[in-house]
Amino acid sequence: MKNRLKVLRAERDWSQGDLAERLDVSRQSVNAIETGKYDPSLPLAFRIAELFALPIEAIFSKD
Amino acid sequence: MGYPRNPAQRRYVLRVAVAMAAYIVTLAAALRFVGGGAVTGPPAYLLALLPGLSVAGIFWAVGRLLVEERDEYLRMLLVRQVLVASGFTLTVATIWGFFENLRLVGHVDAFYIAVLFFLGLGLGSCYNWLTLRGRSEG
């Protein structure tokens, strides 16, 4: 699964640590999701979408 | 796991420290009183049970960490680590058992299976690092 997390984060000038804090997850989690090594669960994907005020499909897409 | 970063990991470290301390104390007591022959019969079995239960406390701590870790990615890493450790332990113990049965190797006490599991956790950590390491920023 691909995602636009890194771009969305950069647009807000947030570090991985900033985003991790806002999502209440570890920085490793943010890094793993951004680099495509880990696909988040549906609840976490919803939290990410809510944080960026975007629909899930605007952030995550199939390969 | 590295330096404990969240409450679940800190509780894990504390639980392992308590279990290790209990292991050292109960092992010393068992060796002295049961090994030395001062305690026999049912009390000897009870005393001999305690070091093993202390080590089981570490297994329990790993299980609790799996339940209490709130970060889903870190939990997944731990699941992979435990799976590698379990597979490694079962494989080595089984192979050794056949070797021993065929008198190709000497006898090894069964409590070394716990040592294999802890070694396996280390291997699992290496497996995670090798397969999931990535660029890190921020």
B27 touches B55 (CB < 8 A)? no
> What's the pLDDT tens digit per position in A15-56?
999 999 999 999 999 999 999 999 999 999 999 999 999 999
Residue A10 has pLDDT above 90, yes or no: yes
Backbone angles phi, psi at B107, to 5 degrees: -75, 140
Q: Is A28 on the interface with B (CB under 8 A)?
A: yes
Longest dimension (CA), chain A: 28
Whether residues A31 and B137 touch (CB distance < 8 A) is answered with yes
Distance CA B96, CA B106 (A): 9
Q: Do B71 and A26 touch (CB under 8 A)?
A: yes
Q: Is the pLDDT of residue B136 over 90?
A: no
Task: Read off the pLDDT of residues B89-129 as tens digits, 9 standing for 90 and up.
Answer: 999 999 999 999 999 999 999 999 999 999 999 999 999 99
Q: Which of B73, B75, B80, B127 would best serve as a mutation to test chain A binding (most A beta carbons within 10 A)?
A: B73
pLDDT one-digit tens code per residue, B10-28: 999 999 999 999 999 999 9
**B134 contact residues in A (CB cutoff 8 A):** 31-32, 35, 37
pLDDT category at B133 given cuts 50, 70, 90 is confident
Contact B138 A16 (CB under 8 A): yes
Which residues does chain B have within 8 Å of residue A16's beta carbon, measured at their own beta carbons? Answer: 136-138
Calculate the alpha carbon distances from B2 to A51, A63, B6, B10, B45 in Å. Answer: 29, 33, 12, 11, 37
Please report residues of B whose CB lies closer than 8 A to that of A47.
none
Closest by Cα among B62, B55, B54, B109 to B83: B62
Partner residue opposite B71 with nearest CB, options A16, A25, A37 = A25
What pLDDT score does B2 carry? 55
Rounded to two decimals, the pTM is 0.87
Q: Which residue has the tokens 């809510």?
A: A50
For residue B135, pLDDT beyond 50: no
